[in-house]
Amino acid sequence: EPEVTQTPSHQVTQMGQEVILRCVPISNHLYFYWYRQILGQKVEFLVSFYNNEISEKSEIFDDQFSVERPDGSNFTLKIRSTKLEDSAMYFCASRSRGDTNEKLFFGSGTQLSVL
């Protein structure tokens, strides 16, 4: 089965530093997402991206966050100045259509630790 690939699997950074989390969605998918999961808590929606622009974002996704699809394959999440509370598992997801019945394919996640 096709996979969503995320790199790195673990990222450790100092507070205030910028981080970029990378994702390669499934090749024929058109809708891309970032979710995060703080340890022991539920998976929370951050942002969705379609046709090279953000289609929806949550309250969590403030000015410190940005997303980009720099080429035809990568989808990145940038945190400009990390805070301790940004420590979480970040999941990238994609789906082929925006239909509500389409399942999301998730990557294996990037564990971000902000020290």
The piece of 20-28, 62-70, 78-86, 95-103 that touches other proteins (CB under 8 A) is 95-103
Distances (CA, A) of 105 to 23, 24, 96: 12, 11, 9
Find the binding residues for other proteins in span 19-78 (CB under 8 A). Answer: 31, 33, 35, 41-45, 48, 50, 55-56
The piece of 12-20, 21-29, 65-73, 85-93 that touches other proteins (CB under 8 A) is 85-93
> CA-CA distance, 78 to 109, in Å (whole number)?
15
Q: Quick one: which of 24, 30, 60, 104 contacts other proteins (CB under 8 A)?
A: 104
CB of 24 to other proteins, least distance (A): 15
Check residue 109 for interaction with other proteins (CB under 8 A).
yes
In 3D space, the residue among 54, 61, 59 whose CA is nearest the CA of residue 90 turns out to be: 61
In 3D space, the residue among 6, 9, 16, 5 whose CA is nearest the CA of residue 86 turns out to be: 16
